[in-house]
Amino acid sequence: MRECILGNFRRRLLAALKTDNDLQRPSILESLIRRHISIVHLAEQHISMDLTKGIREVLLTEAFSGPVSSLHLFEKVTEQPTGSAAEAVCNWYIENIIKDVSGAGILFAPIHKCFKSTRPVGGYFADSVADLRELQAFVRIFGGYGVDRLDHLLKEHTAALLNCIDTSLRSNHEVLDAVAGSLHSGDRIEREASMKQVVDLDTVIEFCVQAGLALAFDGLLAEAAGAVLEEGAPLIYSLLAEVVKHVPDAKPEKKEIRRLKGVANSVSVVCDHDSQWVSSVLGEVRGANDGSWSLLPYLFATFMASNVWNTTAFNVETGGFNCLASTNICVLPSTLLDTFVNIKLKREHVRLEREHQQRQSFSNGHVDETLDSEIQSRLSAEASIKSTMQLFVKFSAGIILDSWSETNRSHLVAQVIFLDQLCDISPYLPRSSLELHIPYAILWSIYSQYYTNNPSTLLALLTVSPCHSPAVSLSHASPVIRQGRSDSTPQYLTNDSGYFKSASSSYSQEHINQYITKS
């Protein structure tokens, strides 16, 4: 009778995973599982059997993707694959949210911390199955094993994408060398001719966007896992949060330190989740440490010449970008640039590890000398990253402004905001880095026109008429800030009553004030 009851519970669990349309929402699935558990507990009161332990075994079997025997010290003769429920849900998220095989137009909304879609993904829109609340329900159902499985699939997919980027760098090596030379020499004609020879540029952009989607999704997953752990085991959560503060930042890292950081990163108790996650992914990429990746900033600079920007628009409601192209490409500057920065970080860390090994072999026990050398190497690594990022901004801004004209200006707004958000998220790029190349008045004009209008209506960026698009006026002088105003409103904005009056006024005002402060 025990096996019959538990077998029925397992069948109901697997049946509840899917609806007639597609995947069941994790929050609804959680309520259905709780209902079935309560029914089993009710039966347990009338028979002398321990069904609670059986429920735990069923849930563990369906959550752990691998032979359960590996959880114990002994080994079984026959190992049957398990974790079918967690595997099905994780694969659905990868195929439908990250890869978007159904063509639902998946977009990430940084403000709302969720994914959105222009069309339903199965029976629901993306924000109904891929927001923080639904991911917390996923964590409560499948526990840490489900989180590890989904995290592993995301890393596996991202590593494959980075290998594709590596292949593109190798195949375009000579062309990118020519692009780099023309950018440094300032030869516009040679630069444009070289950039047209870059093979499969739009495909590489799509690979980067998918990597950015995976990075954003894993960030939400880690935050959901941290919230569930803090609620269910607050002492363990607080212990991790305090221990990770005192972990040494030495290079190379010891295996135990790396594992501890990985555990802390999986529950989002570290402030640089993206950096740690990308660093672990790059360990799986075969070519991320060779010389071809030094051309990465030049490859990314050529992105500014892609046709994808002609159909890309900034969305005030989401804080991200909408792409209206048929391929449903969404440009995610924050996650894309996190990937770029951390690739550079990984290469610098590899260099530091090699130098550390050399110093260890020649130091002859001089600890102080070795320590000073490590500090100097770390400072030089940070300086190298900063100079590379500034180089990228300089060249990207040059490409953007050179391609601007009165008859072709629709792409300019999205590209300028892209660079502005890059400076906002990067610790290596202050606002002044962008102001050296793009006047502050242009940025202020763009943001003021966005947030003065109703954010529920996306501004028409795809028209060449300056009357229907954010008119980027190059004639604006630097804004003169009024004395005594807390919102730092420039004098040329005379209609104070309508200033940032939209439904998202709290966000927009905060965004503008942060922009002024960082400037």
Chain segment 220-251, per-residue pLDDT in tens: 999 999 999 999 999 999 999 999 888 877 66
- Secondary structure tally for the chain: helices H, strands E: 18, 4
Q: Which residues contact 368 (CB under 8 A, 6 or more apart)?
A: none
pLDDT for 327-337, tens place per residue? Answer: 333 434 555 55
**pLDDT over 60 at 477, yes or no:** no
Among residues 274, 259, 257, which one has the least CA distance to residue 222?
A: 274
Work out the end-to-end distance of the chain between its first and last CA atoms, rounded to an integer number of angstroms.
71
Q: Which residues contact 9 (CB under 8 A, 6 or more apart)?
A: 36, 37, 40, 54, 55, 58
Q: What pLDDT score was predicted for residue 231?
A: 94
Count of CB atoms within 10 A of residue 344's CB? 22
pTM of the model: 0.78
Q: Which residues contact 93 (CB under 8 A, 6 or more apart)?
A: 130, 150, 217
HSE, side-chain direction, 13 A CA sphere, residue 339: 27
Q: Which residue has the higher pLDDT, 288 or 416?
A: 416
What SS3 class is residue 427? coil
What is the C-alpha to C-alpha distance for residues 73 and 35, in angstroms, rounded to an integer? 34
pLDDT for 253-311, tens place per residue? Answer: 778 888 888 889 899 887 778 777 877 787 767 655 666 778 888 888 898 888 888 77
Vertex 249 angle, CA 248 and 253, to 5°:
95
What SS3 class is residue 213? helix
Among residues 39, 154, 43, which one has the least CA distance to residue 93?
A: 154
HSE, side-chain direction, 13 A CA sphere, residue 444: 22
Q: Which residue has the higher pLDDT, 212 or 146?
A: 146
What is the C-alpha to C-alpha distance for residues 167 and 327, in angstroms, rounded to an integer? 22
Give the residue-averaged pLDDT of 414-428.
Answer: 81
pLDDT for 112-160, tens place per residue? Answer: 888 888 888 878 888 899 999 999 999 999 998 899 999 999 999 988 9
Report which residue type is found at 195.
M
What is the C-alpha to C-alpha distance for residues 220 and 78, in angstroms, rounded to an integer? 37
| % residues pLDDT > 90 (the chain) | 18
CA distances from 165 to 176, 276, 429 (A): 13, 20, 24
Which range is least confidently modeled, 9-23, 190-204, 502-516? Answer: 502-516
Confidence of residue 492 (pLDDT cuts 50, 70, 90): very low
Q: What pLDDT score was predicted for residue 246?
A: 86
CA distances from 392 to 162, 288, 296, 303, 434 (A): 19, 19, 9, 11, 10
**Mean pLDDT, the chain, integer:** 75
Confidence of residue 33 (pLDDT cuts 50, 70, 90): very high
Report which residue type is found at 519.
S
Count of CB atoms within 10 A of residue 359's CB? 16
